[in-house]
Structures are given as C-alpha cells and as structure tokens.
C-alpha cells in the first residue's frame, strides 16, 4: 500500500451540527486555525466539517479549540460527530486556582 493510500485511510471528518447560521459561523470563527467547511443540512441546520488526517495531536488540537469555544463563547453545547458516532460537548468549568494549587 502506498503512502497516499495510508494517509487517505486515516482521514476522518469531524462534524459539528449547529442550529443556526449564526451559531455555525461562530464555530468556524472559533476554529479559525483549522480548515473548515460550512454546509446547510437537509433539516435546515448547519454543518461545520473539519477534515482530520494528521497525527492524534491534530485531532486533540481541534477538540481543545472546540472545547475552548464552547466554554468561553458559545451559548449552547456542541453536537459533534466523529467516526460514525455522535457526542455532545458541554461547556466546562475553568480550572480554579486556590491557595493550595499555587506553587511556592
């Protein structure tokens, strides 16, 4: 099998479903460091798609950027599809710095 075939076999698409065009554009802006495509779905929702084909660190970078966007700028959870499965990503609480956590 050639390298090109190996790379295409590893390509995956991460899909984010947004209820409104404004929300979809927000996800595109929040993921500005990645190549995104925006399409309208048959049900009137919008899909933001990101092709993933690099190392696992690339996938983690996309997921971290998405979590950051949902936590800091989005008004709603993100419905994310990857590898035939659907997940819902909710905002997370930022880490709290306490007196015990501060290095001396």
Report d(CA 55, CA 62) in Å as an integer: 12
Mean pLDDT for all residues in the chain: 82
Residue at 95 is within a domain: no
For residue 53, the enclosing domain spans 3-89
pLDDT of amino acid 76 = 77
| CATH number, residue 10 | 3.30.70.260
Residue at 104 is within a domain: no
Report d(CA 27, CA 59) in Å as an integer: 16
Q: pLDDT tens digits, residue range 48-80?
A: 999 988 778 888 899 889 988 888 887 678 899
Q: pLDDT tens digits, residue range 14-43?
A: 999 998 999 999 999 999 989 999 999 999
**Between these two residues, 51 and 102, which has the higher pLDDT value?**
51
Q: How many domains does the chain have?
A: 1
- Confidence (pTM): 0.74
């Amino acid at each position: 099998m050639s390298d090109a075939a190996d790379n295409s076999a590893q390509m995956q698409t991460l899909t984010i479903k947004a209820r409104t065009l404004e929300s979809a554009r927000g996800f595109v802006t929040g993921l500005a460091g990645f190549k995104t495509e925006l399409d309208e779905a048959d049900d009137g929702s919008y899909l933001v798609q990101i092709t993933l084909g690099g190392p696992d660190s690339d996938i983690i970078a996309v997921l971290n950027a998405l979590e950051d966007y949902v936590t800091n700028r989005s008004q709603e959870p993100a419905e994310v599809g990857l590898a035939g499965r659907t997940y819902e990503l909710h905002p997370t609480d930022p880490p709290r710095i306490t007196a015990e956590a501060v290095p001396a």
